[in-house]
Structure 1
Amino acid sequence: MEIIALLTILTPFLGAILTLLVPKESAKWICQIFAGLASLGALSLAVAFFNQGSVSTTFPILQISHIELFGLTIDKVSALITFAVVVLGLLVSIYSLGYMNEGNREHPHNGEPRYYAFLLIFIGAMAGLVLSSTILGQLLFFEITGACSWSLIGYYQKPTSLKAALKALLVTHVASIGLFIAAAFLFKATGTFSVSAIAGLDDYTKVIVMLGILFAAWGKSAQLPLHVWLPDAMNAPTPVSAYLHAASMVKVGVYIFARAIMSAGEIPEIVGIIGVVGATITLVYGFIMYLPQKDMKRLLAYSTITQLSYIFLALSLATFGSKLAFEGGITYIFNHAFAKSLFFLVAGALSYTCGTRMLPALKGIIKASPLLAVGFCIAALAITGVPPFNGFFSKFPLFAAGFDLANTHPWLLPIMVIALIESVASFGWIMYWFGKTVVGEPSEAVASATPVPASMTLVLVILIVMSFASSFIASSWLS
C-alpha cells in the first residue's frame, strides 16, 4: 500500500513535467494519461486497503532523529477521499479536452501546457494532503494547492483574473498560519508532527492546536471571515472552478479538520462551539449572498460556501461525541464533490454552447439540450438534499445527529432549525432558477447553441450517475 500511495502522489508531478517538455499539441494527452494512471493508483489503493482487512495503517516516510516529518495514513476516510479527488481530477482533465478549444463561444482558447501541468500538480498535491500523516506534510501540500489555485485562477491573464488569483493566494496563505501554529505547539508538546499525537495533548494545548487547524480550514474552505476569495475565483476556466473551487481544493479545509477530529480523542467542547457558531453564521451569510446573483458561477460559488458550512457543522457536532455526525460529514465531502462538480460543469457547458452563463439570458434549455437540462435538474436536487440523490444521504445524518444532540445540548436546537430553514429555502431558490432557465421557449442565446463536445458529454453523464451512486459507495465503504 505504501508504494501504491506514493505512486498515486508522485505520478501527476511527473506528468506535469512531461507536459512542459512535449510539443504543445501533446500536452493535453499527457495530462489524460497521467491523470488516468493516478486514478488507477487511487482505485488500487482502495482495493489493497480492503484486501488487507481495512485496518488503518501509518507508514513513516521521512524521519530525522525519530521525528516524523512526513508519512502516509491509509484508512477508510483517506482512501475514500483520495479516490474522489483524484478521479474527479481525471474527469475534469477529460472535460477540458472539449472545453479548452476555439469552439468555446465564451472563451475561445486552446489550452496551454501550463494549464494541464498545474492541473496535474494539483491532483498530486491533493492526494498528498489527504494521505499525509503529519501536520508538516499537510502544510506542504496545503501551500502547493494554493500556488496551483493562484496560477489557474489567473490563467486567462486578464486584470480581473490576476487580481482574483492574488486575492486567493494571499487569503489562503494567511490561513496557513493556523497550521504553522498548530504544528509548532504540537511539536513543542510531543516532539513530533504526527497528527495522531494530538490525542496526547493536555486540554489547553489541544484547544490551541485544534483552533489553529480550524482557522486554516476556514481559509481554504471559504468560511467567514476568510471567504472573500472564492466568488472572485470564478474568473478561472470553468473546469478549474469545478475541480479546485467546488470539488477538491475547498475540501482541504474540511478534510484537515476531520482528520484532526479523528486523531484527537476527547475534544474540549469550546472547539465544537466555535465550529458550530462559525458554520451557522457562514451558512446564513452564504444563502443571503447567492440570492441576488445572476451569474451562474457566482451563484454556485456562494452555494458552495453554504454547503461547506453544512460540512463544518457536521464535523463540529462530531466533537460532542456524535459518530453519526462525523460519518455524515465525511459522506457530505464525498457526495458534494460529485454533485457540485456536475453543476459547475453544466454551467461551463452552457457558456461553451450559448456564449453566456448569465441566468436571465438562458431560457428553454430543455428544448435545445436535454442533457444539460437533466444535468441542471439532478445537480440542483442533489445539492439541496432531495431523495434519492446523494445530497439527501449527507444532510439526513447531519440533521438526525444535530436534533439528537439537542436533547443534551439545548442551545443546538435553534441552530438546527436555522439550518433546516436554509436547506428548504435554498431548494426553493434554485428551483426558481430551474423554472426560469430550463423550461419554456428557448431564448436567443439558447436557440443558437452549438453542440456539446463528446468529452464534455461523457463527463456530464458520469457525474449524473454519480449523483445517484456516490452516497451508496460512501455509506457501504465507511460501514
Structure 2
Amino acid sequence: MENIALTTLLVPFVGALLTACSPKQQAKNICTVFALLATLGTVALGWLFLAGGKTDATYTLVSYHGVALFGFTVDRISTLIAFAVVFLGLLVSLYSTGYLTRGNREHPHDGDNRYYAFLLIFIGAMAGLVLSSTLLGQLLFFEITGGCSWALIGYYQTQKSQRSAMKALLITHVASLGLYLAAATLFLNTGTFSLSALSQLQGSASYIVYGGILFAAWGKSAQLPMQAWLPDAMEAPTPVSAYLHAASMVKVGVYIFARAILEGGNVPHVIGWVGIVMATITMVYGFLMYLPQKDMKRLLAWSTITQLAWMFLALSMAALGSKQALDGGIAYIFNHAFAKSLFFLVAGAFSYSCGTRLLPKLRGVMSKSPLLGIGFCVAALAIAGVPPFNGFFSKFPVFAAGFTLSTEHWELIPVMVLALVESVASFAWLIYWFGRVVPGEQSPEVAQMAPLPWAMRAVLVVLVIMSLVSSVIAAMWLN
C-alpha cells in the first residue's frame, strides 16, 4: 500500500512538470491524463485497504535518527478523503478543458500551461496532506497548497485578482504559524512529529498543540476571524473556485483538525468549546453575509464559510467525546465537496454560456438548459440538507450528536437550536433564488446562452449523481 500511496502522491507532480514543458495545446490533455492516473491510484489504495480488512496502517518513508519526518497513514478517513480531493481534481481538470476556451463569454481565453501545472501540483499536495502520518508532512503540504492557491487565484493577472491572491496567501500563511508552533511543541514533548504521538501530550503542551492546529485550521478553512480571503478569492477562474474553495483547499483546515482529534483521543475540552463558540458565530455571520449577494460565486463563497462552520461544529463536539459527531463531520467533508463543487460549476456554466453570474439576470434556465436547471436545483437542495440528497445525511448526524451530547452539556441546546434555524433559513433563501432563476420566462441573457462543451456537461452530470450517492459511499466506508 505504501508504494501505491507514494505513486498517487508523485504522479501529479510528475504530470505538472510535463505539463509545464509541453506545447500549450497539449497541456490540458496531459493534465487530465495525470489527474486520472492519480484518481486510479486512490481507487487502488482503497481497494487494497478494503481487501486487507480495513486494517489501519502507518508507513514511515523518511526518518532521521529514528525520528519519523514523513510517512503515510492509510485508514478509513484518509482513503475516503483522498479519493474525494483527487477525483474532484480530475473532474475540475476535465471541466477546465471546456471552460478555458475562446468560447467562454465572460473570460474568452485558452488555458495556459501554468494553470494546468499548478492544478496538478495542488492535487498532489492535497493527496500528500490527507495521507500524511506526521505533523511535519502536513505542514509541508499545507504551505504548498498556499502557494498554489496564490498562483491560481491570481491566474487572470488583473490587479484585483493579484490583490486577492496575495490576501489569500498572507492570511493562510499567518494561520500556518499555528501549525509550526504545534509541530515544534509536539517534537519537544514527545521526540517525534508523528500524529500518533498526540495521545501522549499532557498539560500545557496539549493546549498549545491542539490550539495551534485549530488556529491553522481556522485560517485555511476561512473561519472567523480569518475569513476575509475567501470571498475575494472568487476572482479566480470558476473551476479553481470549485476545487480550491469548495472541494480541497478549504477542507485542509477541517481535515487536519479532524485528524488531530482522531489521533489524539484526549483533546482538552476547552479546545472543543472554543471550536463550538467560534463555529456558531461564523455560521451566523456567514449566513447574514450571503443574504445580500447577487453574484452567484460570492454567494457561494459565503455559503461555503457557513458550511465549513458546520463541520467545525461537528468536530468540536467530537473533541468533547462524541464519536457520532466525528463520523458526521468526516461525512460532511466528503459530501459537501461534491455538492458545493456542483454549485460552483453550475455558476461557471452560466459564466461560459451567458456571460454573467448575476442571479437577477438569470431567469428561465430550465426551459433553455434543463441540465443547468437540474444542476442548480440539486445543488441547492443538497446544500440546504434536503433528503434524499447528501447534505441531509451530513447534517442529520450533527443534530443527532449535538442533542445527544446536550444531556451532559446543556449549553449545546441553544447552539443546536441556532444551527437548526440557520439550516431552515438557508433552505428558504436558496429556494427563493431557485424560484427566481430556474423556472419562468427566459431573461435576454438566458435566451441567447451558448451551448456548453461536452466536457462541462459530463462533469455536471457526474456531480449531480454524486450529490445523491456520496452519502451512501461515506456511510458504507466509515462503518
TM-score by length of 1: 1.00
Query: What is residue 463 of structure 2 aligned with on the other side?
Result: 463
Displacement of 1:389 in angstroms is: 0.2
Distance in 1 of aligned mates of 2:128 and 2:393:
28
Secondary structure of the corresponding residue to residue 70 of structure 1: strand
Deviations 1:9-37 (A, max 9, x none): 00000000001111111111100110000
Distance in 2 of aligned mates of 1:202 and 1:170:
32
Return the letter of the residue paired with 1:439.
P
Distance in 1 of aligned mates of 2:364 and 2:453:
20
Query: What is residue 201 of structure 1 aligned with on the other side?
Result: 201
Deviations 1:342-363 (A, max 9, x none): 0000000011000000011111
Secondary structure of the corresponding residue to residue 86 of structure 2: helix
Query: What is residue 373 of structure 2 aligned with on the other side?
Result: 373
Displacement of 1:267 in angstroms is: 1.6
Query: What is residue 50 of structure 1 aligned with on the other side?
Result: 50
Secondary structure of the corresponding residue to residue 391 of structure 1: helix
Distance in 1 of aligned mates of 2:96 and 2:267:
43
- Please tell me whether residue 78 in structure 1 is matched to residue 78 in structure 2: yes
- Please tell me whether residue 68 in structure 1 is matched to residue 68 in structure 2: yes
Distance in 1 of aligned mates of 2:377 and 2:336:
15
Deviations 1:304-355 (A, max 9, x none): 0000000000000011111110000000000000000000000000110000
Structure 1 runs (4+) deviating above 4 angstroms are none
Secondary structure of the corresponding residue to residue 390 of structure 2: coil
Query: What is residue 100 of structure 1 aligned with on the other side?
Result: 100
Displacement of 1:53 in angstroms is: 1.3
Distance in 2 of aligned mates of 1:333 and 1:309:
11
Query: What is residue 91 of structure 1 aligned with on the other side?
Result: 91
Distance in 2 of aligned mates of 1:255 and 1:267:
16
Q: Which stretch shows the higher mean deviation, 225-234 or 20-29?
A: 20-29
Displacement of 1:124 in angstroms is: 0.2
Question: How does 1:440-459 map onto structure 2 within 5 Å?
Answer: 440-459=440-459
Return the letter of the residue paired with 2:28.
K
Deviations 1:52-109 (A, max 9, x none): 1111100001100011111110000000000000000000000001100000000000
Return the letter of the residue paired with 1:436.
R
Deviations 1:402-422 (A, max 9, x none): 011111100110000000000
Distance in 2 of aligned mates of 1:265 and 1:448:
57
Query: What is residue 386 of structure 1 aligned with on the other side?
Result: 386
Displacement of 1:265 in angstroms is: 1.5
Query: What is residue 41 of structure 2 aligned with on the other side?
Result: 41
Distance in 2 of aligned mates of 1:320 and 1:20:
47
Distance in 1 of aligned mates of 2:324 and 2:198:
22
Secondary structure of the corresponding residue to residue 60 of structure 1: strand
Displacement of 1:207 in angstroms is: 1.4
Structure 1 unaligned regions, length at least 5: none
Displacement of 1:246 in angstroms is: 0.6
Distance in 2 of aligned mates of 1:248 and 1:266:
27
Distance in 2 of aligned mates of 1:420 and 1:134:
37
Question: How does 1:355-370 map onto structure 2 within 5 Å?
Answer: 355-370=355-370
Secondary structure of the corresponding residue to residue 156 of structure 1: coil
Deviations 1:127-160 (A, max 9, x none): 0000001111000000000000000000000000
Question: How does 1:47-446 map onto structure 2 within 5 Å?
Answer: 47-446=47-446
The alignment-based identity, stated in percent, is 66
Secondary structure of the corresponding residue to residue 58 of structure 2: strand
Distance in 2 of aligned mates of 1:267 and 1:464:
37
Distance in 2 of aligned mates of 1:275 and 1:196:
22
Return the letter of the residue paired with 1:144.
I
Distance in 2 of aligned mates of 1:300 and 1:177:
28
What's the RMSD between the two structures over aligned residues? 0.5
Displacement of 1:203 in angstroms is: 2.9
Distance in 1 of aligned mates of 2:214 and 2:165:
23
Query: What is residue 6 of structure 2 aligned with on the other side?
Result: 6
Structure 2 unaligned regions, length at least 5: none
